[in-house]
Amino acid sequence: MKTVYVVTMWSGGRPAKKWKADNVPEVLANGTGVSFISMATRLRVTVVGSISIEEYESGKEETEMGFGPSTAPESPADIERLY
């Protein structure tokens, strides 16, 4: 399992924009925001203002629910797998 950080920028008490990051976001030197590498674009993002950071473990839901390659249903005999 892999840890994913979700950074949310807030505006007017509502979430305005969300990003996902692989590593823990770094607090800026002046303490008013954070900087991180976006998972989607692989670019450095700096957010200043009202933000929140949540930590999740990706793949946890699949593990707890029992989903995954070992529990996949068998393919019918008349269907050939291409991969």
The confidence score (pLDDT) of residue 75 equals 52
Task: Point out which residues pair with 46 in neighbouring strands.
Answer: 35
Q: What is the pLDDT of residue 23?
A: 94
| Predicted local distance difference test score (pLDDT) of residue 74 | 58
Q: What is the pLDDT of residues 27-83, one digit of tens each?
A: 999 999 999 999 999 999 999 999 999 999 877 555 555 545 544 455 556 666 555
Which of 56, 43, 57, 52 has its CA nearest to residue 15?
A: 52
Rounded to whole angstroms, the Cα distance separating 77 from 49 reads 58
The answer to whether 6 and 56 are in contact (CB under 8 A) is: yes
Could you state, in order of their start, the residue ranges of all structural domains in the chain? 2-60
Q: Please give the Cα distance from 14 to 25 (Å, whole number).
A: 21
**CA–CA distance, 57 with 2 (Å, rounded to integer):** 5
**pLDDT tens, position by position, 2-32:** 899 999 999 999 999 999 999 999 999 999 9
